[in-house]
Amino acid sequence: MIGLIDDGPAPPTDARRFLSRFAQDRVAMAGALFVLLVIVIAILAPDVSRYSPTANFPVINAGPSGAHWLGTDDVGRDLWSRLVYGARISLEASTIVVTLALLVSLPIGLVAGYFSGRTDNVLMRLMDAMFAFPPLILAITVAALLGRSLHNESIAIAVTFVPGFARVIRGQVLAVREETFIEASRSLGAGPLRMIGRHILPNVASPLIIQAAVSFGYALLAEAGLSFLGLGVQPPSASWGVMLQEAYQFILSDPWATIIPGLAIALTVLSFNLVGDGLRDALGRGRERGRP
């Protein structure tokens, strides 16, 4: 009977297709697992660390041991505890940076790309003016004006990310607004707000997600750089950049304390970049055509 005919398995949804493609990329999966590990450690910092990150012990610049798994720094603080709490601060700063940059650049890119003309010229010239300053110099200037703290440091870094995000969003909007379904919606009387919110924004989400994933790594690196220069989190708070700053003066005699935070920064930034590459391949149109 017709009602008993089996049409076979249902086709995979877009989400399942994306997860399948991403899972097939072993390098991206390795990066995602490492990022997940860092996030879990940061969340569970009080549980996975043995001591307070500011507690001092009578052993100074000691190597790894049973009491101190990664050794101690120049004032006797446990390096494992500081590394774990530093992950929390670094990830928090990266999240604030990317979130603020998206909140500011998203409306700029959408408006500039959709309306074009004079509006586009004004907004993009403002972004070009921000591009004229070297990102590090701009971040240092803003951080120095706002004051030394985690949130002020995050705002300073976010300012340098806004022009790049805005240009990526604008470029995608310019491509999407020429599609046939946009012309059809416009002919049916859809207003600009409805057009942007319902038709354009969902179609620029994929490249924006990729850009945000990669930017997490750059934000973490920038946070460490500003903290190393003394413009971010202040000692004795634990931050990977602060750990580098404190250990740098002993880099020749006791390099171990410098290697630990440096390696953590390098691996985490690399992992975010690998995740971004995996997202690009899984969400990219070219790969979607090449695989079922």
Tell me, yes or no, whether 292 lies in a domain: no
Query: ∠159-41-70 over CA atoms, to 5°?
Result: 105
* N-to-C CA span, the chain: 31
- How far is the CA of 226 from the CAs of 21, 208, 229, 292, in angstroms? 37, 26, 5, 46
pLDDT band at 271 (very low <50, low <70, confident <90, very high): very high
Query: What CA–CA distance (Å, rounded) separates 135 from 233?
Result: 19
Domain residues for the domain of 88 are: 39-50+70-285
How many structural domains does the chain have? 1
Tell me, yes or no, whether 213 lies in a domain: yes
Contact 278, 22 (CB under 8 A): yes
Contact 172, 105 (CB under 8 A): no
Reference 223, options 121, 95, 134; nearest CA is: 95
Tell me, yes or no, whether 59 lies in a domain: no
Find residue 72's DSSP bridge partners: 78
More confident residue, 249 or 189: 249
Tell me, yes or no, whether 242 lies in a domain: yes
Q: What is the mean pLDDT of residues 118-133?
A: 91
Residue showing tokens 């989190």:
233
Residue showing tokens 């995000």:
165
Tell me, yes or no, whether 1 lies in a domain: no
Contact 210, 164 (CB under 8 A): no
Supply the CATH number for residue 230's domain: 1.10.3720.10
Residue 155's H or E segment, with its range, is helix 150-176
Tell me, yes or no, whether 45 lies in a domain: yes
| pLDDT, tens digit, 9 for 90 and up, residues 73-96 | 988 999 999 999 999 999 999 999
Tell me, yes or no, whether 120 lies in a domain: yes
| pLDDT, tens digit, 9 for 90 and up, residues 203-239 | 888 888 889 999 999 999 999 999 998 888 888 888 8
Tell me, yes or no, whether 149 lies in a domain: yes
Question: At 38, is the secondary structure helix, strand, or coil?
Answer: helix
